Amino acid sequence: MQADGDTAPRQPLPAEGKPANHGLSDPERWVELYGDYLFKYALMRLRDPARAEDAVQETFLAALKGGKSFAGRSAEKSWLVGILKNKIYDHYRKTSRETNFTDLEFYADEESDRFVADGLLKDGWIHELGPQEWSSPGASLDSEVFWKTFHDCSNKLPKNIAAVFNLREVDGAESKEICRLLNISESNLWVMLHRARMALRRCLETNWFAKPGMSE
């Protein structure tokens, strides 16, 4: 990352007779530079390729219009991501007005198969099936295969459950903010998040941490 104080003139891309656009790279190149990334970003959150394409297109068009508000070249990508994020939130807001975003069906049994069914230890983890020790989990973070596994696991969550998980855990939005956006109650949000975390933890354990050689 270059500091703002760096004034070395970077050559603008050949702009084919058009004036340089506020220090941005040529908008026509945006599709090559950022198209895939923005599409993946949107698809992960919307789960609908057509909608994700639209969101990317709207993002570029909004960026073109609002180019003046753009502050620095090195941040072009995060600037576009910021616009896209707002488009995605707009979509959530709209959906939540038309349909109920709450999902209390998914994982409603909360891994009952892994808890003692009755007796004195009812609802304690069955030891062999409870959470296992994950060896050096931090090392996984550099592995592309780990993120592939993570994606496959989170892709198995139902759409709305994945949406709250992404909002809360990936985007770091506050509970209250999410509830306002999705028009759901806080207690229902907590239940959805709990089940998302539970399912994701189990899926990662099964498909990554418990697989010999995967997390080493």
Binding site for other proteins (CB under 8 A): 18, 21, 27-28, 30-31, 35-41, 43-44, 49, 53, 56-57, 60-61, 64-65, 110, 115, 122-125, 127, 130-134, 137, 140-141, 144, 147-148, 150-151, 168-172, 175, 186, 189-190, 193-194, 197-198, 200-201, 204-205
Smallest distance from other proteins to CB 65, Å: 8
The DSSP symbol for 206 reads I
Of 155, 160, 163, 159, which Cα lies nearest the Cα of 207?
Answer: 155
Smallest distance from other proteins to CB 23, Å: 15
The span from the CA of 137 to the CA of 140, in Å, is 6
For other proteins, the closer of residues 119 and 213 by Cβ is 119
Instruction: State the alpha helices, DSSP H only, in the chain.
Output: 27-46, 49-65, 76-98, 144-155, 159-165, 175-182, 186-204
For other proteins, the closer of residues 97 and 155 by Cβ is 155
For other proteins, the closer of residues 16 and 98 by Cβ is 16
For other proteins, the closer of residues 2 and 147 by Cβ is 147
Q: How far is CA 181 from CA 36, 79, 84, 160, 207, in A?
A: 27, 22, 16, 13, 33
